């Protein structure tokens, strides 16, 4: 009797276990059948909203709920249209965009006929993404009023009014974004200081110390500040003024992954401590790299690896550096015979298209490249009083038209600086009453924002040097 009673609980347990296993088997079978009939489903979408508008080769990753067969570019559509490539592996699909996308815009990504291995059913995956908006940093000169006469670096968002102070100090002359920090040059014509200001929430982090750089000599002047896009280094032109005269004027680099001490770029194009620096007529970092394109004091063109890992490459000569095209592998340079596009990978030069309407003026300014096929240029005619009446011309291939941006008669355009994605441009103008930067649409000329300042950080991407004329 007792043996029979002990057996009953074990039998009940076995029956429950078998029933549970059967339920799981049935559920799994049903799920497999449903999955084979419905096809894969979209589980997740990941992307960097800010990166999509500021850098090329940015990806949107679509993750399915199961492994999928290979997806081709023909299966993927993007609306509004944007050039892209497609790769897939496992349960992910990567859509990589050739160039930066438009600011603050929704894009729809559609993937047709997605199939899991061994299944007949297909499914269409749909994803909606929203790109980031943009802001600019501007240097607002100090006055006698609020702020105690200090200069202010302010942040101005294009999708909201007003400006927010990022950092303030006396005698600020130049600045550059450096990852989550800001490099600030301040001082006088004879002596400069360089500070690395940590940021938090887009403004100075009051709880973190400001790093004061040790410069190469007791006293010196810092100009032509530029920073690499990845924040790994920055550079500037330095002149030793400790004797009351400018000596050993040339290019220096600060490696943020190392000692943070300025190191001279020598005549061969290598960073060498204590060397006589390479002379500089103009220079700037090549976008999205740690290489710099330098026009030396003798008009030689040198591509310098600021990290020192590869040898410098000499690319002939030029009389002026206008800027870079698209992804940065091509530069626009002026020679003694005209303006060309210089391929930085092989040194090949091709003539820049310049319709008559973009060159039939007494004053011809810097080329501001927007895309591979379009650019802006300031041109002007001489008035009877000797001043120049300026206008901005947009060139698209073989066609040139005027960009409807008004320049006041008493002002002169000092720079035209494209946004990272070429959608907007900053038009910096100077008049007897001060500086004004107008942010306008690069296609229509419509005003987006204006700032009482001399320039914005978009201009830091252009090679240092005066406007040509």
Fold category of 42-130 in CATH: Immunoglobulin-like (2.60.40)
Give the tokens for residue 138. Answer: 């501007």
Q: Which whole number is the average pLDDT over 42-56?
A: 93
Based on C-alpha coordinates, what's the Rg of the chain? 29
Interatomic CA distance for residues 203 and 199, integer angstroms: 5
pTM attached to this predicted model: 0.85
Helix, strand, coil abundance in the chain, percent, nearest 5: 10, 45, 40
Residue 5 predicted with pLDDT over 80 = no
The pLDDT value given to residue 26: 46
Token code pair at residue 68: 């999928």
CA pseudo-torsion sign 202, 203, 208, 210: positive
Residue 186 contacts residue 168 (beta carbons within 8 Å)? no
Banded model confidence at residue 166, pLDDT cuts 50, 70, 90: very high
Give the rounded percent of residues in the chain with a pLDDT score beyond 70: 90
The model's pLDDT over 278-317, given as tens digits with 9 standing for 90+, comes to 999 999 999 989 999 999 999 999 999 999 999 999 999 9
**Cβ atoms < 10 Å from Cβ of 327:** 17
Element (H, E) at 119: none
Does 345 or 145 have the greater pLDDT score? Answer: 345
Q: Kindly indicate the confidence band of residue 25, based on its pLDDT and cuts at 50, 70 and 90.
A: very low
pLDDT at 83 (0 to 100): 92
Phi, psi dihedrals of residue 31, rounded to the nearest 5°: -60, -40
Run of H or E residues at 6: helix 2-38
Distance (Å, whole) CA 323 – CA 59: 26
Domain ranges of the chain: 42-130, 353-469
Confidence of residue 170 (pLDDT cuts 50, 70, 90): very high
Give the pLDDT confidence score for residue 27 in this predicted structure. Answer: 43
Separation of alpha carbons 437 and 455, rounded Å:
6
How many other CB atoms sit within 10 Å of the CB of residue 234? 24
What order do you get walking across the sheet with 58-64 strand by strand?
42-46, 58-64, 92-97, 84-89
The pLDDT of residue 37 is 58
Q: Is pLDDT of 148 > 70? A: no
How many helices (DSSP H) and strands (DSSP E) are in the chain? 2, 36
Of residues 45 and 13, more confidently modeled:
45
Q: What's the CA gap between 345 and 427, in Å, rounded?
A: 31
- The whole-chain average pLDDT of the chain stands at 89
pLDDT reported for residue 112: 94
- 55-103 residue pLDDT tens: 888 999 999 999 999 999 999 999 999 999 999 999 999 999 988 999 9
Q: Is the pLDDT of residue 146 over 50?
A: no
Span 255-274, average pLDDT: 95
What the block records as the tokens of 319 is: 């009389």
Q: Which residues pair with 167 in a beta bridge?
A: 153
Identify whether the C-beta of residue 238 lies closer than 8 Å to the C-beta of residue 222.
yes
Dump pLDDT digits (tens) for 373-424: 899 999 999 988 888 899 999 999 999 999 999 888 888 999 999 999 999 9
Q: Look at residue 29 and tell me whether its pLDDT is greater than 90.
A: no
């Amino acid at each position: 009797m007792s043996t029979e009673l002990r057996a009953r609980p074990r039998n009940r347990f076995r029956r429950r276990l078998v029933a549970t296993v059967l339920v799981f088997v049935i559920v799994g079978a049903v799920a497999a059948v449903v999955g084979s009939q419905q096809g894969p489903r979209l589980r997740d979408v990941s992307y960097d909203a800010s990166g999509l508008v500021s850098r090329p080769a940015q990806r949107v990753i679509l993750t399915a709920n199961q492994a999928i067969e290979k997806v081709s570019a023909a299966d993927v559509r993007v609306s509004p249209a944007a050039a892209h490539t497609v790769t897939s592996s496992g349960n992910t699909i990567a859509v990589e965009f050739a160039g930066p996308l438009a600011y603050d815009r929704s894009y729809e990504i559609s993937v047709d006929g997605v199939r899991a291995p061994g299944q007949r059913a297909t499914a269409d995956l749909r994803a909606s993404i929203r790109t980031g908006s943009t802001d600019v940093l501007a240097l607002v000169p100090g006055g006698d009023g609020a702020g105690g006469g200090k200069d202010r670096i302010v942040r101005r968002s294009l999708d909201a009014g007003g400006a927010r102070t990022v950092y303030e100090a006396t005698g600020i002359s130049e600045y550059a974004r450096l990852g989550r920090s800001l490099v600030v040059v301040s001082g006088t014509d004879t002596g400069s200081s360089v500070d690395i200001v940590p940021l938090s929430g887009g403004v100075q982090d009051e709880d973190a110390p400001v790093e004061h750089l040790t410069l190469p000599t007791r006293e010196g002047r810092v100009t032509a500040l530029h920073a690499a896009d990845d924040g790994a280094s920055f550079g500037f032109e330095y002149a030793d003024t400790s004797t009351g005269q400018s000596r050993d004027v040339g290019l220096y680099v600060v490696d943020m992954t190392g000692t943070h001490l300025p190191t001279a770029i020598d005549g061969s194009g290598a960073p060498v401590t204590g060397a006589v620096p390479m002379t500089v007529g103009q220079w700037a970092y090549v976008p999205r790299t740690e290489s710099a394109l330098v026009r030396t004091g003798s008009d030689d063109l040198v591509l310098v690896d600021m990290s020192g890992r590869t040898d410098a490459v000499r690319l002939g000569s030029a009389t002026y550096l206008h800027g870079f095209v698209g992804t940065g592998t091509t530069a626009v340079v002026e020679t003694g015979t005209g303006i060309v596009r210089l391929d930085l990978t092989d040194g090949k030069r091709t003539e820049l298209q310049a319709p008559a309407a973009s060159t039939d003026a007494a004053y011809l300014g810097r080329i501001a490249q927007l895309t591979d096929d379009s650019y802006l240029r300031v041109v002007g005619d001489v008035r009877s009083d000797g001043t120049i009446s300026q206008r901005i011309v947009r060139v698209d291939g073989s066609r040139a038209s005027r960009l409807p941006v008004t320049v006041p008669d008493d002002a002169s355009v000092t720079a035209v600086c494209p946004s990272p994605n070429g959608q907007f441009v900053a038009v910096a103008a100077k008049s007897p009453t001060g500086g004004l930067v107008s942010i306008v649409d690069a296609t229509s000329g419509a005003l987006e924002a204006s700032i009482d300042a001399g320039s914005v950080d978009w201009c830091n991407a252009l090679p240092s040097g005066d406007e040509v004329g």
